[in-house]
Structure 1
Amino acid sequence: MAVPYKICLLIDDNYIDNFVTRRILESGNFAEEIIVRQSPAEAIESLRDGSVKPDVIFLDIRMPMMSGFEFLQEYDKLDEDVKRAKLFMLSSSLDPTDLKRSSENKYVTQFIHKPLTHKMLEELSA
């Protein structure tokens, strides 16, 4: 089976969540390369300077210094050719406001509850 994506960017401040999500992405053969950024600010800088050009992004909501929604505000300021990635909110948040804000954001393809599973990956790849 072909790998659905070339580059996947995972943005989450939690080391354990990143480890688990990365393993699921790798074992599910979801992307050729998985890049992890524990800081949304670092992720924005990587996108801005062109060092990371993802096809898909998994973004957490609740992070210190910059939330997922604050990331999206900065993402909106990037050049149009940078904003080509399919973006998924990957969060453990049960807050209905987070779900609503995600669904209303033009960049968010889908809100996914943590933990990511192989079944979810199959649905995302279909």
Structure 2
Amino acid sequence: MSNYKTCLLIDDNYIDNFVTRRILEGGNFAEKVIVSQSAAEAIDSLRSGSVKPDVIFLDIRMPVMGGFEFLQEYDKLEIDGKKAIKIFMLSSSLDPTDIKKSSNNKYITQFIHKPITQKILDDICT
């Protein structure tokens, strides 16, 4: 049985998305995994209600709109269940500033270093 109904993965890197999606699906993490290669596209999907995630995995470094810019736009959204959505910053960044900024953001549940593993998913779900 899946831990979450819908997981939204926001990352501009096709290979990272492919690998992360396989791990999420293989680990039965969510009933549905939706991939968005653009933070702006993800904001539009959330705003329109076409995507209603329980959990979001968000990359920091993306062109046009990065993870922190996504969070600024996310803050402006008025969507049902917003407070219950868990957002995990999923990044290869080792920059202590990114990690600190993530830990200080009210929407970020946890900063996770790529690649995601089954152990990380198990820890999230317990």
TM-score normalised according to structure 1 size? 0.97
Structure 2 residue aligned with 1:59: 58
Task: Tell me the distance in 2 between the aligned counterparts of 1:81 and 1:27.
Answer: 29
Whether the 8 Å CA contact 1:47–1:82 is kept in 2: the answer is: no
- Give percent identity, aligned residues only: 75
Give unmatched runs, 5+ long, in structure 2. Answer: none
Query: What per-residue deviation string (whole Å, max 9, x for no partner) do you get for residues 20-73 of structure 1?
Result: 000000000000000000000000000000000000000000000011000000
The DSSP-based 3-state class of the residue aligned with 2:70 is helix
Whether the 8 Å CA contact 1:93–1:113 is kept in 2: the answer is: yes
Task: Tell me the distance in 1 between the aligned counterparts of 2:44 and 2:2.
Answer: 27
Task: Tell me the distance in 2 between the aligned counterparts of 1:115 and 1:34.
Answer: 17
- Which ranges of 4 or more aligned residues in structure 1 deviate by more than 6 Å? none
Structure 2 residue aligned with 1:18: 17
The DSSP-based 3-state class of the residue aligned with 2:25 is helix
TM-score normalised according to structure 2 size? 0.97
Give unmatched runs, 5+ long, in structure 1. Answer: none
Q: Which amino acid aligns with 1:45?
A: D
Does 1:123 find its partner at 2:123? yes
Structure 2 residue aligned with 1:72: 71
Whether the 8 Å CA contact 2:46–2:79 is kept in 1: the answer is: no
Task: Tell me the distance in 1 between the aligned counterparts of 2:25 and 2:66.
Answer: 26
Aligned-residue Cα RMSD (Å) equals 0.8
Once the two structures are TM-superposed, the CA of residue 81 in structure 1 deviates from its matched residue by: 2.1
The DSSP-based 3-state class of the residue aligned with 1:81 is coil
The DSSP-based 3-state class of the residue aligned with 2:80 is helix
Structure 1 residue aligned with 2:94: 94
Q: Which amino acid aligns with 1:38?
A: Q
